[in-house]
Amino acid sequence: MSVTDVMTRISQIQSTIAQIQSGEFSTPSSTSSTDSASTFASALASANATTGTTGATGAAAATSAASTTGLDSTAGTKATPASPTGGLVDNGVTGDDIVADAKKYLGVPYVFGGTTTSGMDCSGLVQTVFKDLGITMPRVVPDQAEMGVKIPDLAHAKAGDLISTKDGGHIVIYLGDGKILHAPRPGKDVRIIDNYLKDSDIGEIRRIVPSTASASVSAASTAKATGSQSDLVTAALQQLMASGASA
């Protein structure tokens, strides 16, 4: 029996029970009522079994999607907030958080070696943003370009990823949609511009934290909530069934 058939059958039985309770429906015998109750219970069991299987499959699919090509997977990583190398830092921070924090520094003037709102350079900006979010990053571009997970090319870049130039002299924060945020050079301030770096210009693209809130966790939570709601509905329908059978 398909989910659609089960739900259709449940709807029919609910309607019949409502009629029984209101006295608008009379059953030929107690056997008929018992048979309906039995059928209803079987339908509920089928629905529960189907929903459980579907929920588990959906969660597994979401987990797989979340870990596409391993770029957003924190499984088995040795990276920590204090040492964000060798994998992704799984402390609840996402690429979207990186972007939001970086935008706080728009307009800060470029100062070589700076790491404060009085002035900062490109790597100082990166270090400060991650420090705000509890992650300790190295101070200079070549070291920052070795943190986290390597992203193969711009096509796979996500908001919050770091992009360094091939010569190791500059690093920017990718915002998604072809935009970057960076501290460009003396005489300029922290700003958002269209990404001018091509794959041929790039030394490294690095992801330090998952690009979005863990999709696998979100999917599991959704599946759990859906399952709980289904259990409540099932319990309520069973009570209605019992009430209808005794009418």
**φ and ψ at 175, to 5 degrees?**
-105, -10
Taking the C-alpha atoms of residue 117 and residue 140, their distance in angstroms, rounded to an integer, is: 18
Contacts of residue 53, Cβ cutoff 8 Å, sequence gap at least 6: none
51, 124, 157, 170: the catalytic one is 170
Instruction: Decide: 216 and 16 in contact? Cβ < 8 Å.
Output: no
Distance (Å, whole) CA 74 – CA 6: 39
Query: What tokens were used for 230?
Result: 């289904």
The whole-angstrom separation of Cα 98 and Cα 208 is 10
Question: Which residue in the list 17, 71, 108, 122 is annotated as catalytic?
Answer: 122
182 in catalytic set: yes
156 in catalytic set: no
Amino acid identity at 219: A
Query: Which structure tokens are listed for 128?
Result: 């400060």
Selected catalytic residue, list 17, 62, 119, 182: 182
d(CA 55, CA 1): 17
Per-residue tokens: 133: 């979010």
Distance CA 246, CA 65 (A): 49
User: Which active-site residues does the annotation give?
Assistant: 122, 170, 182
